[in-house]
Structure 1
Amino acid sequence: MIGEGGFGGVFRGVIQNPQDSRKKIDIAVKQLSRRGLQGHKEWVTEVNVLGVVEHPNLVKLIGYCAEDDERGIQRLLVYEYVPNRSVQDHLSNRFIVTPLPWSTRMKIAQDTARGLAYLHQGMEFQIIFRDFKSSNILLDENWNAKLSDFGLARMGPSDGITHVSTAVVGTIGYAAPEYIQTGHLTVKSDVWSYGIFLYELITGRRPFDRNRPRNEQNILEWIRPHLSDINKFKMIIDPRLEGNYYLKSALKLAAVANRCLMVKAKSRPTMSQVSEMLERIVETSDNAAPSSGLPLMKSLTPKDAFEASRRERVKRRFVELLIGVNGCPNLPTCSWSPKLVASI
């Protein structure tokens, strides 16, 4: 067993490669509890979603099983095995001591944005994740991020309808305010959750943590006083990075998060726009010379780092760091028309 939750257990296994019987494939098998029908609706949803999508940043469903016997209902989901655990495991130090490097965090931000953009805009219908969070983002052997656990996903609204009305579910700290207040679900609800996740990558903290002092339990309330000044901003960056990050990159990532966390859902960018913003941030960081104003902060004193940032016109206020998104093209849609698999 490699995992356990209210739904049942997750086991690691091996099967023959259907394309080459001489090779094996590592798999993860999620076995839902046999007791009653709890979780059956989520199981069917996951089969329906993962049965029609295909993207490198979504976990791959290899197969499923549903049968009745004298012991109850046997429900299995068989996925590709993703070995490097979840992003939450890495950020929380729950199982892994070594912190995620800044470059890996930026890659995770890019990968997850691409995955959400595909769900929202890459097909002829929309899928709203509804439970986007760090524990549902798995990392493969090459540190590629893959979205997983689609049991709460919903189809987007039909043409002419602005939202899907549904019961409020999900994880505390991630849900968009308009969804909590009205039960109206749109793809912009996922965009809000993604903005929370970006601050999780920046700070290393959970969105809501009851183990912290009261004024630090909610990540948004905690970071708000630190967003008006660069020196204050550096205080919220994950201390486990020990200064090994690009300040300008972190500032711009926070600016993207702020765009995703606009109170009015319509003011938030699409995930394809977010993906393009992140690509520009990464390209700038990758091509920067050591003297270009994107130094690793560990190599400079706080005073020198501030001066370098000032020379490169890194502004004190995030409103001045907003990245233009006008004219960003949407992701190309797929040329095929997927159909949902039959309900079980």
Structure 2
Amino acid sequence: MCYKLLQGDFVLMILWVEVVLVMCLRVGLMSRHLPPTEPGTGMAIAVKRNDQKSRQGHSEWLNEIKYLRRLRHPNIVKLIGYSSENNHLILVYEFIGKGSLASHLYGSPSKCETLSWTIRKKVALDVAKVLAFLHSDEVHVIYRDVKTSNILLDSNYNAKLGDFGLVRNGPEGHESYVSTTLIKGAERDESHVSTSRNGTLGYVSPEYLNTGRLTKKNDVYGFGVVLRELMSGRHVLDTNRPKRKYHLVNWAKPLLIDRKRISKVMDARIKGQYSERETGRIAHLAIQCLSVEPKLRPTMDEVVRSLEHLQDYKTHRR
């Protein structure tokens, strides 16, 4: 067995019994996605397993190790260790207790509490900050897969970005781009296979989808989609809705342009928690992020500044 720990101070042992992974941490045993048997005796973890026989699975496994070993940010899920054994590629992460943002927006009310407007604004700011970090000159990478199922919430509702399998080094300058084979060839197939089930096509910017040109503005577009999901509580693509309401971005656009109609987009579960002026500013930011022309989209640093202003908006909105 080959395994590697990225953090010391505990012993990690991986044992396979059919498909059950057991972790031994100092005291007691713990199965995947479960906390230690005794509080304070270890750490909770989450385990992701990829198929080594799949070119896509192996590539994404290597990519996550490559980036998560060197990236440190409070809004990035920590990679604790990794292993390769018997055609199984293992990644061990810190356990993020409240699950994905998607589960809170779309999950069963009996299992996931409705996120308040205040928490939704905080989540948006957290995600904006980590994307700004990734886009910074020091880090200079493009995340490529911004979506609600890749945003995890801890016990204090701090948002953390996970799944770095599709991350790429960024091009030099805002006008440069990474030329990929998204439309023709293997990379398009790889991206589609790994993410289409989660509706990622709804998050991809038009220029990336049509030309394969990848810039940081692709992440900005995906963030704009997440903003609309936070506002509306609706899936980006929803086959259960009438055809004209199927695509969230297209359906919401004319409503968000008119401040008096924004309420028709807002999630009914958080009615009364926001002001018309406040949602107007968020709507305007989302429209900017979703501009068809990449040059008209803000940078993530600009998005952070806009959202920081809105965090305590209620205290000075009048």
TM-score bucket (shorter structure) = 0.7 to 0.9
**TM-score (normalizing by structure 1):** 0.74
- Report the counterpart of residue 306 of structure 2 in structure 1: 277
**Structure-2 change in CA distance of 1:192 and 1:38 (3 Å):** closer
Residue 45 (structure 1) aligned with residue 74 (structure 2): no
Match of 1:250 in 2: 279
Among 210, 220, 226, which residue is 1:181 paired with? 210
**Partner residue of 1:109?**
124
Deviates more, 1:220-229 or 1:234-243: 220-229
Gaps of 5+ in 1: 1-8, 294-344
On the 8 A contact 1:46/1:150 being kept in 2, the answer is yes
Q: Which residue of 2 aligns with 1:15?
A: 25
Report 1 or 2 for greater relative contact order, CA contacts < 8 Å, sequence distance ≥ 6.
1
The answer on 1:79 being equivalent to 2:97 is no
- For 1:196, which of 225, 229, 233 is the aligned residue? 225
Residue 134 of structure 2 is matched in structure 1 by 119
Q: Partners in 2 of 1:24 and 1:200 — Cα distance?
A: 36
Contact 2:125 2:307 in 1 (8 A): yes
| Displacement of 1:255 | 1.1
One-letter amino acid of the structure 1 residue matched with residue 25 of structure 2: I
Q: 1:38 deviation in Å?
A: 4.3
Please report how far the alpha carbon of residue 251 of structure 1 lies from its aligned counterpart in structure 2 after TM superposition.
1.5
- Bigger CA drift: 217-226 or 144-153? 217-226
User: Displacement of 1:124 after TM fit?
Assistant: 2.2
Helix, strand or coil at the partner of 2:88: strand
1:146-295 → structure 2 map (5 Å cutoff): 146-158=160-172, 162-168=176-182, 169=191, 171-285=200-314, 287-288=315-316, 292-293=317-318
Aligned to 1:59: 77
Q: Cα distance 1:36–1:191, how it changes in 2: closer, same or farther (>3 A)?
A: closer
Moved more, 175-184 or 123-132: 123-132
Report the Cα distance in structure 2 between the residues aligned to 1:166 and 1:268, rounded to whole angstroms: 21
User: TM-score under structure 2 normalisation?
Assistant: 0.79
How many Å apart are 1:230 and its aligned residue? 3.2
1:24 to 42, 47, 55: 42
Task: Give the structure 2 partner of residue 321 of structure 1.
Answer: none
Answer yes or no: is the 8 Å Cα contact 1:14–1:27 preserved in 2.
no
State how far apart, in whole Å, the 2-side matches of 1:10 and 1:115 are: 33
**Residues 1:128 and 2:142 are matched in the alignment:** yes
1:33 corresponds to which of 51, 74, 88: 51
Give, in angstroms, the shift of residue 201 of structure 1. Answer: 0.3
Give the 3-state SS of the residue equivalent to 1:23 in structure 2.
coil
Aligned length: 272
In structure 2, give the amino acid aligned to 1:15. L
Deviation at residue 270 of structure 1 after TM alignment: 0.8
Aligned to 1:326: none
Distance 1:284 1:10, change over 3 A: farther
State the one-letter code of the partner of 1:52. R
State the superposition RMSD in angstroms.
Answer: 2.3
